[in-house]
Structure 1
Amino acid sequence: MSFARRTCLMILALTPVAAGLAACSTTTKPASKPFREAAVQPYRLDSGDRLRITVFEQPGLSNTYAVDQAGYIAFPLIGQVAARGETLPALEGAIAARLKQGYLRDPDVTIEMDRYRPVFVMGEVGRPGQYSYVPGMTAQNAIAIAGGFTPRGNQKDVDVTRRINGRVFTGRTEITSPVLAGDTIHVRERLF
């Protein structure tokens, strides 16, 4: 058999292996600019956040309120208040403005985070699941809380899914990258 024929047969034999390896690769792209910038922007509220709202000298209004699935909080006297996508100062202003419309003369509203929405860790980790978010958390911190990497886990980078302005983005980031409340971190299986 000629050298050219043997080479041609070898290439044909390896083609399914190459196709199989290509199928194993993911289509996740590196994190986009808006994805990376979201980590340095002011915190935006969303479903699952719980807030401590204090109205000065109004103990009947001061309480803990949760942002519901639709993105609202149910506040006494004024009803539903849109919270999704708002910063804490913006929500303070919105509640104060609505209370000023016939309920209180000069309301002084203060909002603090009581509990952030959780992060989700999936894939090649010891205990995949939902975990409490802490400001300043990195993907590596979240993975450690989820039992660390399995022996097959890719320890170089992870895929993070994040909601930004109502749209869902997935990007590949280093494990030292910051994560946000509500992010889903996926640890892929390494090939070798």
Structure 2
Amino acid sequence: MAIRILTLVAWLPLIAPLTLSANDDRYQIGAGDSISISVFNEPELSVRAQVAQSGLIRFPLLGDIRALDKSPRKLAEELEAALLDGYLVNPAVTVTIETYRPIYIKGAVKDAGRHEFLFDLNVEQAIAISGGLTDRASKDSWLILREGKEIKARGDTMVMPGDVISIGESVF
């Protein structure tokens, strides 16, 4: 019995749906995210910025810093290393995502367009946020465009920041 439980635990990360929490190292900063950066005991180095399409943010003393495709922890570590190189003795940097890039819902929904990303949001809830399905909406022709890849979606498919959800129409 113990071996079966261990086997299940080993497979769980592979079969569990991908969800994010506020401090998840798997989350990669993307264009459109708003972040705050603080350096302990250095208020003049505190920054709030929206990540540009280029992936850059401007940081005091260091200039333009690439934030795109880095976890908040990785970006904090890189800033600490850069500040340690001649600027501060023992920098302690914290990077926090203040707002995540939006999701987009298009197709056969009542309020298509840009919507705020929320944690633990699935496709069915995103459809509800967009006013629900129209009368002509398909019940199973749902797709998510995520990082350039199309994913067939169901109601319980988890939504990630930046996703574009497409709801098709039924053919009568």
- Quick check: TM above 0.5? yes
Residue in 2 aligned with 1:149? 133
The CA distance in 1 between the partners of 2:63 and 2:102, in whole Å, is 26
The 8 Å contact of residues 19 and 158 in structure 2, kept in 1 or not, is answered as: no
Cα deviation digits, residues 94-128 of structure 1 (max 9, x gap): 11111111111110001111100000000000011
Residue in 2 aligned with 1:85? 69
Unmatched runs of 5 consecutive residues or more in structure 2? 1-14, 21-25
The SS at the match of 1:185 is: strand
The SS at the match of 1:98 is: helix
Residue in 2 aligned with 1:174? 154
Q: Is the radius of gyration larger for structure 1 or structure 2?
A: 1
Cα deviation digits, residues 133-152 of structure 1 (max 9, x gap): 01211111111111110011
Q: Which of the pair is proportionally richer in helix? A: 1
Report matched runs for 1:20-39 at 5 Å.
39=18
Match of 2:51 among 64, 67, 75: 67
TM-score, normalising length: structure 2? 0.83
Cα deviation digits, residues 151-182 of structure 1 (max 9, x gap): 1111235110011xxxx111211121001100
Residue in 2 aligned with 1:56? 40
Residue in 1 aligned with 2:114? 130
Aligned length: 153
The 8 Å contact of residues 155 and 175 in structure 1, kept in 2 or not, is answered as: no
The SS at the match of 2:44 is: coil
Match of 1:45 among 29, 32, 35: 29
The 8 Å contact of residues 47 and 59 in structure 2, kept in 1 or not, is answered as: no
Cα deviation digits, residues 41-70 of structure 1 (max 9, x gap): 811111000011111011111131211110
Unmatched runs of 5 consecutive residues or more in structure 1? 1-35
Residue in 2 aligned with 1:4? none
TM-score, normalising length: structure 1? 0.75
2:91 paired with 1:111: no
2:85 paired with 1:101: yes
How far residue 83 of structure 1 moved from its aligned partner, in angstroms, is: 1.1
Q: Percent identity?
A: 31
Match of 2:60 among 64, 67, 76: 76
The 8 Å contact of residues 104 and 162 in structure 2, kept in 1 or not, is answered as: yes
The SS at the match of 1:140 is: helix
2:158 paired with 1:158: no
Instruction: Decide whether aligned partners of structure 1 residues 38 and 46 sit closer, same or farther in structure 2, where only a CA change above 3 A counts.
Output: farther
The 8 Å contact of residues 141 and 169 in structure 2, kept in 1 or not, is answered as: no
The 8 Å contact of residues 17 and 158 in structure 2, kept in 1 or not, is answered as: no
2:123 paired with 1:139: yes
The CA distance in 1 between the partners of 2:90 and 2:82, in whole Å, is 11
